[in-house]
Amino acid sequence: MKINGEGANLDLAQLRQRLQEAKGPQYWRCLEELADTEAFQKLIHDEFPQHEQVWENSLNRRDFLRVMSASLALAGLNACTKQPQEKIFPYVRQPENVIPGQPLYFASAVLHNGYANGVLVESHLGRPTKIEGNPQHPASRGATDIFGQAEVLTLYDPDRSQVVTHLGRISTWETFISAIAAELEMQRVNNGAGLRLLSETITSPTLAAQLQTLLSAFPAAKWHQYEPVNRDAARAGAQMAFGQFVETQYRLSNAEVILALDGDFFSDMPGSLIYSREFADGRRVTDGAKMNRLYVVESSPGLAGTMADHRLALRASEIESFARALAIEIGISEEHDPRTTINNQQTKWLKAVVEDLKQHRGACAIIPGEQQTPLVHALAHAMNNALGNIGQTVIYTEPIAAQPVLQNESLRELVADMDAGKVDLLLMLGGNPVFNAPVDFVFAQKLDKVQLRAHLSLYNNETSVLCHWHIPELHVLESWSDARAFDGTGSIIQPLIAPLYNGKTAHEVIAVFTGQAGQAGYDLIRDYWRNQNLAVDFEKFWQTSLHDGVIASTALQPKASIQQLASSIEHRASSNQQPASSIEIIFRPDPTIGDGRYANNGWLQELPKPLSKLTWDNAALVSPAFAEKHGLSNKDVVELKFEGRAVNAPVWIVPGHPQESVTLHFGYGRSRAGKVGTGIGANAYELRTSNAFWHGAGVEIRKTGERYLLATTQMHHSMENRHLVRTGTLQQYQEHPEFVHEMGHEPAREMTLYPEHKYDGYAWGMVIDLNSCIGCNACTIACQSENNIAVVGKEQVENGREMHWIRVDRYYEGDLDDPAVYHQPVPCMHCENAPCEPVCPVAATVHGDEGLNEMVYNRCVGTRYCANNCPYKVRRFNFLLYSDFETPSLKLLRNPDVTVRSRGVMEKCTYCVQRINAARIDAKKEDRRIRDGEIVTACQQVCPTEAITFGDINDPNSRVSQLKAQKLNYGLLTDLNTRPRTTYLARLRNPNPALEENA
């Protein structure tokens, strides 16, 4: 989708000046808003651009009357349609425990980069419809991330691979078994010297054992592992520090000061959900006046940086140098390293941080980023040791992954063997190396030299098409398997539905190689655990493990005595990189579609990226200063040339991005993703080499003169600058707790023409704690899944017609180059004086007795007056038939408790009224009131930081009432006297006085 440039470049210098001159805090959402450009003015003026006519041909008066009279004549008849006759298909033999109309929940686990996250899956008559976190699982504690939520859509994706293919033609599993058997016979002669396996990170104990069996039957065979988001740096760093691979875990509930060295512990790590939870627990001032402090040094802006009390944007290559300087300051190394080059301002920053860390010995943590160099990891280990954090905030365990290796080296070895013609049979378990291997490995070309190639995969993807055999893989919700979480806890993965297609699990494929062909996945998993002898009564153990979703006491114990730190890390790290003088490129997995495996998932594609708010695309992210210097503006297409290879990508300016760097997220540019994900975005893998795996210097950037349409939601639903997000510092709050209320004005309750509503029973309300919200977007996806919200596509997003019921607004404050960032989730406010209600001509949106602002789809005729009158802009209109009523597999996906909306109907957040009603019925059947905490909205349930609280505000003891009584509580646009039921707790920062310039 190319657009021709109206290309009005932003005058960034002028912006800077304006920001400097401004008095008081300035919050802004995008550069266009700050610059007050004409385009932005038009957007504000139009206010509801999504409502504008998009039809090209204009109607003249006569045609208009003709159309109107026809519609009027037909409108009345609409209601007279006779309902189609429907059938009921009862069971022949009804399974025990299945009650039609009542969902069942099963514990299982979903995988992210190989690590398990425990989930409870809601099942309606055998079809999984919604994924929730498993409160008993240590990696979840009831929360999930966006990927976990979206798995259920992947399950029903009609583009999933459905049949075994051989040379691109439909074949059968049995043919595959016999073909492999013949090849294995030949391999047996030379001990399997020509047999290679390539897998992604594996934490499944059963699969690991199976692979060991395979390798002992074929001693000369090799098992390689590769995943584009791997933990090589952490592993190499541990090896550097301890001489062995160890797994690092953080106990952030004990940490009062946290320093992240390019480490986005909210999203990038296997334990991220728990780290987020523990961080937020230490952040909340509602339960006490103590608050942790977060310092973040980061290259490409991530979630951690947005929550930082102090953030330092450095180029990726400078972070190692910063870590060295930090190590010296903390006292790891006496001698000054001449390679350490940091400027005065950074030195001041560093000294203040070190001072703070030293004051919190044993209660601080230094978190190195997965994408930083091994040396940064090694130094972090040494520094955590020197600060007495080991055993307190940082613990070490044995590795979780089965046979941890340095994956890049592992793949390099495999490619060398393939090139040398040593590989006769290559079996790939999942993964997509043709698409995502480092480009210097020229994997696809080398793959061609392998005589027999087989690929097990969920989709028939770029790699499958180059293989002789392709085996469709079972989705995690269809399989029997097992996996381990970040702390080692094992979970049994159980199927929620019979396989939709003829898929197989990795267990069943490996069984073919170990002479157990035909063994069911269930038996393989069960047999493995039976042989572990973890309990006297195996049946009880098995049932308990399945029921709970965790296998008891499988978490790894912290290593009591970690091997002595290597004496001289500096010495070992002699070949370290220098901060580069040329432009750097930073590679990161895409925040919403990961490494590309979720490319065909519409929910994730349409989810606005946390910072750029882009949907359906990636972009070359640069800083405002960089754009200024190179004459770039948003949507300009540039050619990025790196080590002789070039990729075109549109530019997107991200305030706070480090200078002289470009971030390109990988995962886009798929050529065989499916109907949703094929052919969109720029393929960063075409530039990513094994040497510049996470970042590299020397990229050339050239403007092509083309423009590319990027669909971003950051300007949508603008409410202009009206103190929507209120912030302060901890000190400010302690000294003057009323400061939040003084920022706004609340008119007297009686200042309304409308009669007062009475709420005698329940009165539902919500509080969102901005201090806890990390902007991860999980609420948006959870809501989409729970409420059958449609995906609209890039073009419609561009028109401002995305359907998300809860959006996460992102605000910048202050300096263009290093702004503070605030996240604000905005669902329907359920105003007590709702402006949308009086304007509806057909009473399709009315006020409920419990304060719910009801939306009645079957009454709605689509005048859109309500949306026009909503100051919060939370109403969404079905301009077209967005819901897919046709695709059979997608019909299984829907939540049967929520209406699937059709064209011409307004919709919005209902506070998950289906859950309220379910709880109401349960309570009434037991003749009691609904208990506090009994109703959990979908957004609340998924939230890793428990930022959202819902309940009865008529009950003064409910959690939500207590939060609303907080001094930090405020409502949006309360000067309009809308009396929103959704309110916010203001965001507080806890700055270090030594670094606070204004102090």
Contact residues: other proteins, CB under 8 A: 76-77, 79-80, 82-83, 85-94, 99-102, 761, 846, 848-850, 852, 854, 856-858, 897-900, 910, 913-914, 916-917, 921, 924-925, 927
Within 837-916, strands assigned E span: 845-847, 853-855, 876-877, 906-907
Smallest separation, CB 109 to other proteins (Å):
29
Element spanning 521, H or E: helix 521-532
CA distance 103 to 89: 18
The residue (of 813 and 854) whose beta carbon lies closer to other proteins is 854
The residue (of 99 and 751) whose beta carbon lies closer to other proteins is 99
The residue (of 85 and 344) whose beta carbon lies closer to other proteins is 85
Smallest separation, CB 883 to other proteins (Å):
12
Q: Any residues with CB less than 8 A from the CB of 241 and at least 6 apart, and which? A: 377, 378, 381, 382, 565, 566, 569
The residue (of 68 and 921) whose beta carbon lies closer to other proteins is 921
Smallest separation, CB 981 to other proteins (Å):
14
The residue (of 372 and 941) whose beta carbon lies closer to other proteins is 941
Element spanning 509, H or E: helix 506-513
Smallest separation, CB 95 to other proteins (Å):
9
Is 966 exposed, middle or buried, given 0-12, 13-18 or 19+ CB atoms closer than 10 A?
middle
CA distance 771 to 967: 13
Smallest separation, CB 120 to other proteins (Å):
20
Burial 637-655 (b: 16+ CB within 10 A, else e): bbebbbbeeebebbbbbbb
Reduced to 3 states (helix: H, G, I; strand: E, B; else coil), residue 95 is coil
If one counts every other C-beta atom within 10 angstroms of the C-beta of residue 908, the result is: 24
If one counts every other C-beta atom within 10 angstroms of the C-beta of residue 279, the result is: 24
Which single residue is written with the structure tokens 């009564």? Answer: 537
Token representation of residue 868: 């026009």
Select from 949, 953, 927, 930 the least CA-distant residue to 940. 949
Reduced to 3 states (helix: H, G, I; strand: E, B; else coil), residue 845 is strand
Residue 282 near residue 256 (C-beta atoms within 8 A): yes
CA distance 828 to 826: 7
Is 993 exposed, middle or buried, given 0-12, 13-18 or 19+ CB atoms closer than 10 A?
exposed
Q: Any residues with CB less than 8 A from the CB of 136 and at least 6 apart, and which? A: 107, 118, 548, 549, 550
Q: Any residues with CB less than 8 A from the CB of 937 and at least 6 apart, and which? A: 766, 911, 912, 915, 948, 950
The residue (of 473 and 850) whose beta carbon lies closer to other proteins is 850
The residue (of 546 and 846) whose beta carbon lies closer to other proteins is 846
Classify residue 671 by its DSSP letter: S
CA distance 990 to 910: 35
Token representation of residue 6: 């109206």
CA distance 250 to 255: 9
Element spanning 260, H or E: strand 257-261
Which single residue is written with the structure tokens 């996906």? Answer: 893
Smallest separation, CB 406 to other proteins (Å):
53
CA distance 877 to 905: 6
Smallest separation, CB 152 to other proteins (Å):
20
Q: Any residues with CB less than 8 A from the CB of 551 and at least 6 apart, and which? A: 482, 489, 490, 491, 492, 529, 534, 545
Within its chain, how far is the Cα of 495 from the centroid?
Answer: 24
Smallest separation, CB 81 to other proteins (Å):
9
Which of left, alpha, beta for 660 (phi over 0: left; psi -120 to 50: alpha)?
Answer: left
Within its chain, how far is the Cα of 713 from the centroid?
Answer: 17
The residue (of 856 and 995) whose beta carbon lies closer to other proteins is 856
Q: Are strands 257-261 and 27-28 parallel, antiparallel or unpaired?
A: unpaired
The residue type of 229 is V
Select from 949, 947, 969 the least CA-distant residue to 960. 949
The residue (of 86 and 750) whose beta carbon lies closer to other proteins is 86
Reduced to 3 states (helix: H, G, I; strand: E, B; else coil), residue 114 is coil
Select from 439, 411, 444 the least CA-distant residue to 696. 439
The residue (of 571 and 925) whose beta carbon lies closer to other proteins is 925
Is 931 exposed, middle or buried, given 0-12, 13-18 or 19+ CB atoms closer than 10 A?
middle
Residue 572 near residue 240 (C-beta atoms within 8 A): yes
Q: Any residues with CB less than 8 A from the CB of 9 and at least 6 apart, and which? A: 631, 633
